[in-house]
Amino acid sequence: MLNTKSILIMSLMVSIGYGCVQKQYAKIETPTDNSTVETTPARQWDPVRREFWTVMLFTQLSNMPQIRVRFAPKYLHGMVRCAIEEYERRYDIEYFEKVFGVSAGKLSPDNGKIAYDITFECSEKQMKIQQEDFQKKAMEEPDLKDMI
């Protein structure tokens, strides 16, 4: 039979286990309306430094012959702005300058892939916009002055 010591130890173990389980699964209060939810503000780069990196990326990309052939300057600028906005969304300016602000050949493979993916995604968007604009322009009636 069970003696009182065994019963006391078993009840103690059960109460400790029950107490631990109760604390582990405590109910979390969730707000029912969005007015009490705090949002974190978007990262904002210094406008001068942001413009500097926009110009730097535009200059680097416009010096590549394969990019010059693919994009008109207006759409290349749109692609660069898209890429800088994505960098701004993801990183603080100090981190960006330290990691991505180096020469293109000096990026680590991981950071090079991130830079490539961001630029590629933005280039796809801008290429679609450029093609749509060129198609609209091709559908317009030609001006006789332009034909001379």
Tell me phi and psi for residue 72, to 5 degrees: -75, 155
Rounded average pLDDT over 103-107: 72
Residues 80-97 pLDDT 10s: 999 999 999 999 999 999
Average pLDDT in the chain: 80
Tally Cβ neighbours within 10 Å of residue 81: 16
Q: Do 100 and 107 contact (CB within 8 A), yes or no?
A: yes
For residues 35 and 32, give the distance between their C-alpha atoms in angstroms, rounded to a whole number.
9
Distance set, CA 80 to CA 10, 36, 130 (Å) = 69, 37, 14
Task: Please give the structure tokens belonging to residue 109.
Answer: 């493979």
Q: Do 83 and 125 contact (CB within 8 A), yes or no?
A: no
Q: What is the pLDDT of residue 13?
A: 61
| 93: CB partners within 8 A, 6+ apart | 45, 46, 49, 50
Residues 8-38 pLDDT 10s: 566 656 556 555 555 555 555 666 666 655 5
**Percent with pLDDT over 70 in the chain:** 65
